[in-house]
A and B are shown apart, each in its own frame.
Chain A
């Protein structure tokens, strides 16, 4: 088996065979899910804990479903981050989890690197479900699976990631995964929403949609949070939509067979208009959600084997 790491904390640093393994295994779970069958013996007796320090119904439900379809005992823990000393709480939590003999720990936290800290302290295999503005590995994997199934490959495709790249862990994980697998990645957005030295990640930076989308195979839209306007990075929603919102006119710059993706949830009329989001020919946004469960099953499967308690 190609994937030999104990945890899945980041895409950065993974090699193509490791990514390929995850995608191939996820592919088999797509078929399994569609057939209505389950594989409840794989993780029977294992404990999966969803440790979410940040709200997320969508991702948490996806992991819960993945765990249950594989037969694990799934516990959801929502932890308040209102305590003054967050670092201490994290380590306290780690001690608690060890005492509960948790096998698989899915963590979402608003601080970059929090899962890394936990991974040092717990015995479980840790899966990063999104940490601050750092990474969201399973999102990138499900995005890649969606692309690969539709386009037959990742290599050589031009992918335009558009929006608030500065604050996006989804963007970073996708950048790492797609560049590793040989795609040409562009980031498109206003300079105030672009991270410093972004081009050093191996991407081309654009500040105009027309140029950024020209000839793209995939257009990946990121959510613009309301906080960005409040903190003055973008003057207004109407200005943002006029210049950076994906509508039919801007999409016309991409290839005619280009696909539209979005990690969700969408702000309709801000970063994407409904005509594009709901276009059955172009939008694969719903498929992404389906791929998400399969990818998470593949991740749980892979990490559980590294644990040494499974007979195979």
Chain B
């Protein structure tokens, strides 16, 4: 763990200040004193004692809020640790992260929620907001103690990579969570259709001889859980949505006024199933990469608001997990360091505006997580990300920050470099 830099006052001069939460988008300065944002706007000058940060053509936005990431701890420290994940997050401009609970042990006890929150504070660079498990051990059998977990600081409930398969159990979960004002986050994939599958069912999987998962497995569960949300009055959030069919259902559910939200992850709007190429296991993900038509639907849904949030869906895997025949490799892609860069590619292509892109990474996830992170406001903790939108860097597996190197974007040139990240006013990267 790198030594912490001393906390100094900082003045950011002549940067593009971008805060979608307040519709702020202007050239200006921003002053940080004692870890807090004290002022921003034009002509703040160079106050005494403040470190000057001046980067031409840079954008200063709130530290990114990553709504879905797996930390390796507890239980999978060989893949990632909280310390290494914090390092990767800082390099990616991320200062708040919601941690998945399907660890070992699973986060199904209030003591473990407290543990994660505390460990996050100890990093000094990352606020960890823990998800609570929906079921004990994330085994999909018995409901976890939602009330006690919420009281300890869990921000929502999910079984992580595992779908909540039983309809009855999902109903009870939505219903019980509603009593505590909490949301259920679902990995929307029918487990009986996805079992033993390795890639999206279709021509490519057929040619490669890989067992397929029909794209419909996603829409089937999205449809089911939308009906359950309606039945129970509960709130459901669908993770890493990747298909046009599911997005159609979600759009309709929103139009009907149901408490339905969703996120997607960069692989699903940037890559399609051809990224698997010659059995590249870094491109083996859950849900699997889709056909191009679905990828385009995800891009469109980002632009029109059907998708609420972009989350990294960071799933650290080590060599043992990935250096296997494709069908036997563990799915999952690292995503902390590439979250911003891959998102910015959509800005460069003209699919999203810069403000929209940053909104999907800051204010929108912060609102769903009910945290006051993700925005620039006077008096608030100075969690900041400074990036250059046009500088290019090469994604190289083996040279990513943090422990996890299993990036599906290996070899990609990305426009968008994080120049610096600040947490509570302290520079933690750059």
A234: which B residues are within 8 A, CB to CB? Answer: 143
Give bound CA distance, A236 to B148, whole Å: 10
Distance in angstroms from B82 CB to nearest chain A CB is 27
Q: Which of B20-28, B173-181, B325-333, B350-358 interfaces with chain A?
A: B173-181
Measured CB to CB, the nearest residue on chain B to A239 is B145
Minimum Cβ distance to chain A for residue B145 (Å): 4
Beyond A191-B232, A242-B148, is A235–B142 a contact (Cβ under 8 Å)?
Answer: yes
Q: Within 8 Å CB of B176, what residues of A?
A: 190-192, 233, 235
Closest to B233 in A: A191
Query: Would you call A207 and B145 a contact (CB within 8 A)?
Result: no
With A232-B143, A235-B142: A192-B148 Cβ-Cβ less than 8 Å: no
Q: How far apart sit A190 and B143, CA to CA, in the bound complex (Å)?
A: 13
Q: Assess the B179–A207 pair: CB atoms within 8 A.
A: yes
Interface contact B172-A242, CB-CB below 8 Å: no
CB-CB under 8 A from B151, the residues of chain A are: 242
Is the Cβ of A232 less than 8 Å from the Cβ of B179? no
Do A232 and B169 touch across chains, with their CB atoms under 8 A apart?
yes
Q: Mark A241-264 against chain B: 1 for CB-CB distance below 8 A, else 0.
A: 011000000000000000000000
Whether A238 contacts B179 in the complex (CB less than 8 A), given A192-B172, A232-B143, A233-B172, comes out as no
From A207, A233, A239, contact of B148 by CB (8 A): A239
Q: Which of B146, B175, B233 contacts A235 (CB 8 A)?
A: B146
Give A236 to B142 CA distance when docked, in angstroms.
Answer: 10
Interface of chain A, main secondary structure? loop
Count how many pairs of residues, one from A and one from B, have CB atoms less than 8 Å apart in the complex: 42
CB-CB < 8 A to A236: which residues of B? 145
From residue B162, how far is it (CB to closest CB) to chain A in Å? 17
Task: Give the CA-CA distance A243 to B178 in the complex, in Å.
Answer: 14
Residue of B143, B146, B180 with most chain A CB atoms under a 10 A cut-off: B143
Q: Are B232 and A242 closer than 8 Å at their CB atoms?
A: no
Neighbouring B residues of A191 by C-beta, 8 Å: 175-176, 178-179, 232-233
List the B side residues contacting A207 at CB < 8 Å: 178-180
Across the two chains, which residue of chain A brings its CB closest to B136?
Answer: A235
From the candidates B142, B147, B178, name the one contacting A232 in the complex (CB within 8 A). Answer: B142
Cβ of A208 to closest chain B Cβ, rounded Å: 8
Taken together as a complex, chains A and B put the C-alpha atoms of A192 and B180 apart, in Å, by 12
The reply to whether B179 and A190 contact each other, CB–CB distance below 8 Å, is: yes
Closest chain A residue to B144, Cβ basis:
A235
Which residues of A138-153 are within 8 A (CB) of B? Answer: none
**B106 to nearest A CB, angstroms?**
14
The residues in B between 144 and 174 inclusive whose CB is less than 8 angstroms from any CB of A are: 144-148, 151, 169, 172
For A242, the chain B residues whose CB sits under 8 A away are: 147-148, 151
Interface residues of A in 203-238 (CB under 8 A from B): 207-208, 232-236, 238
**Given that A191-B232, A242-B148 are contacting pairs, would A235 and B143 also be in contact in the complex, using a CB cutoff of 8 Å?**
yes
Chain A, Cβ-Cβ closest to B142: A232
The closest CB in chain B to the CB of A196 belongs to B231
Contact A232 B172 (CB under 8 A): yes
B170 to A: closest C-beta gap in Å: 12
Residues of A within 8 A of B146 (CB): 235, 239
B228-270 interface mask toward A, CB cutoff 8 Å, 1 = contact, 0 = none?
A: 0000110000000000000000000000000000000000000
Instruction: Name A230's closest neighbour in chain B (CB-CB).
Output: B142
**Which listed residue (A208, A233, A238) contacts B145, Cβ 8 A?**
A238
Most buried by A among B146, B169, B179, B180: B179
Bound complex: CA of A238 vs CA of B151, how far in Å? 13
Smallest beta-carbon distance B413→chain A, Å = 49
Q: A234 CA to B176 CA in the complex, in Å?
A: 8
Interface residues of chain A, those whose CB is within 8 Å of chain B, are 190-192, 207-208, 232-236, 238-239, 242-243
Can you name 22 A-B pairs with beta carbons within 8 Å? A190-B176, A191-B175, A191-B176, A191-B179, A191-B233, A192-B175, A207-B178, A207-B180, A232-B141, A232-B142, A232-B172, A235-B136, A235-B142, A235-B143, A235-B145, A235-B146, A235-B176, A236-B145, A238-B145, A239-B148, A242-B148, A243-B147
Top 5 closest pairs, chain A to chain B, by CB: A207-B179, A239-B145, A191-B175, A235-B143, A235-B145
- B contacts, CB < 8 Å to A: 136, 141-148, 151, 169, 172, 175-176, 178-180, 232-233
A190-B179, A232-B142, A233-B176 known, 4 other contacts, Cβ within 8 Å: A192-B175, A234-B143, A236-B145, A239-B145
